[in-house]
Amino acid sequence: MKLINIRAVLLLSLLLVFSLLAAACGGDATATSVVVPTAEPTKAPTEAPAKLTEVSIALDWFPWSNHSGLYIAQERGYFTDEGLDVNIYVPGDPTTVLQTVGAGRDDFGISYQPELLIAREQGIEAVSIMALVQHPLNSIMALTESGIAEPKDLKGKKVGATGAASDEALIDTMLRSQGLTVDDVELVNVGFDLIPALISKNVDAIIGAYWVHESISATNLGFELNIMRMEDHGVPDFYELVIVASEDKIANEPEVIQRFVRAVTRGYQDAIADPLDAVALLKSVKPETDLDIENPGVLLLAPLWATDNGVFGWQEQDRWEDFANWMADSGRLSSGAGAAAAYDNSFVEAAR
């Protein structure tokens, strides 16, 4: 009896072993399978974004509608499309823009055709690469109540000026068109506080104020002005505002300049197409923008961004030569011969 029990136990043990072996070998369709983890597919390394080239542009004044094309290029990604990271800023002293650009401390700057010609004769190696404003904005202004309506009315009067090197030559020519000279007035340097100096009657008239901006500001304050446009009183037509780069940058980094000019051109083409929208964008990034001045002002300004040949920023050789010769004749340059070297149309031509 005991032997039978032992055999039964052995038989049961053998059956259990065989059943376990069968399960391990997959003999049973219901057996649990072992999941072997597999390695995830290797991902291709993502390409690092291209590093943007950092450049700066020094403005001539606080941001206003004339700069809207630059901010459009920045906000709508036109600079980024060209691989540029552009710092648009107002320098502590805007009268030094030509010096900082010529010395390479700024890549680009906004300045004036008369000042550029004077600076180049003094050895500053800056060159105009595009004209922002095709005609003069500068003018002489006086309060209507003063009775000063023409240059001849300025005899014996105080005229407030910004201190720009060209102020004296400009007003002298306007005065000479009506039989006077700069010696017949007293020039007073009031910096950029032109309208405050005028409406407070610290001066009788001002030169250096823009008829698309300061005149509107004065009118909004309740002061009516008489405006004397320069080109109406003997001053040759000139480019009010130009973008400059250094001779060194033109020679050694022309591709950076070309990318910058392409983006700026796109920005101003947008501004020309919809000037009020351009000011709205400026307001969005510069909340201090005064729409009561900029909205009416940009409608006067936008036609002066356009060129006769349709190429934004284009500069005419005769305009440079005539103006340089006038400056030489008025004693502000020793010669007008350097006009051709003061500007370069190649970048706007390539961006058309």
Fold that domain 53-135+238-351 belongs to in CATH: D-Maltodextrin-Binding Protein; domain 2 (3.40.190)
Q: Where are the domains of the chain?
A: 53-135+238-351, 138-232
Question: Which pLDDT belongs to residue 135?
Answer: 97
Q: Do domains 53-135+238-351 and 138-232 have the same CATH topology?
A: yes
pLDDT of residue 46: 54
Three state DSSP letters for the chain: CHHHHHHHHHHHHHHHHHHHHHHHCCCCCCCCCCCCCCCCCCCCCCCCCCCCEEEEEECCCCCCHHHHHHHHHHHCCHHHHCCEEEEEECCCCHHHHHHHHHCCCCCEEEECHHHHHHHHHCCCCEEEEEEEECCCCEEEEEEHHHCCCCHHHHCCCEEEECCCCCHHHHHHHHHHCCCCCHHHCEEEECCCCHHHHHHCCCCCEEEEEECCCHHHHHHHCCCCEEEEEHHHCCCCCCCCEEEEEEHHHHHHCHHHHHHHHHHHHHHHHHHHHCHHHHHHHHHHHCCCCCHHHHHHHHHHHHHHCCCCCCCCCCCCHHHHHHHHHHHHHCCCCCCCHHHHHHECCHHHHHHC
CATH level 2 (architecture), domain 138-232: 3-Layer(aba) Sandwich (3.40)
pTM above threshold 0.95:
no
pLDDT reported for residue 37: 43
Predicted local distance difference test score (pLDDT) of residue 23 = 42
Quick: pLDDT tens for 228-281: 999 999 999 999 999 999 999 999 999 999 999 999 999 999 999 999 999 999
Low-confidence stretches of the chain (pLDDT < 70) are 1-49
